[in-house]
Amino acid sequence: MGGIFKAIVLLAAFLMTNACHRGTSEETSLLLGHCTTRVRTKGPVPRLPDTPSLRLGFGAIVGTLADSGGALPHYPILATIPGGAANSPHATATADSVGGFVFAALPPGHYRLHVHAFAHRPDSTDIDVAAGRVDTVRIMTRLFECVR
């Protein structure tokens, strides 16, 4: 009986010390849209990449992707034509290690840039691309906030 009693006491102590511990990790909570108190540490300062050389009849976009903590590296940015069909042309670029990205050869027109960085609200911005011109854009995303 001593061994069983000892095992029960250890199990009870373990359960009492872990009673307040959540069963899910911070990342799982964020993916499910739950609140978080995590604050992102300061990242590198966002920096624009070098200006691309333009192709005849095309325009370009250079930009940065960041949040209040600094650059958001390695997230994809999608350029679409607003209101276009599902199979309409689009382009993608990925932010580099300091949050910079380049769309080097876009046909002239109106585009919407979309980004969805982990633990951040999805964001988009509109931009007009003209032939022979390089436009600059800065995308600032926000962390998910707790609203009760």
* Cβ contact 46:100 at 8 Å: yes
7's CB contacts (< 8 A; 6+ apart) are none
Q: Based on the number of CB atoms within 10 Å of its own CB, is 5 exposed (0-12), middle (13-18) or buried (19 or more)?
A: exposed
Across the range 107-117, mean pLDDT stands at 93
β-pair partners for 113: 79, 125
pLDDT at 107 over 80: yes
pTM of the model: 0.70
The residue with tokens 């102590």 is 13
Q: Are 39 and 92 in contact (CB under 8 A)?
A: no
List the single range of 17-21, 68-72, 108-112 with lowest mean pLDDT. 17-21
Using only the alpha carbons of the chain, give its radius of gyration. Answer: 23
Q: What is the mean pLDDT of the chain?
A: 81
Tell me how far CA of residue 29 lies from CA of 33, 34, 121, in angstroms: 6, 5, 14
Higher-confidence position of 84 and 71:
71
Sign of dihedral through CA atoms 54, 59, 63, 65? negative
Rounded alpha-carbon distances, angstroms, from residue 2 to 6, 11, 57, 145: 6, 14, 86, 51
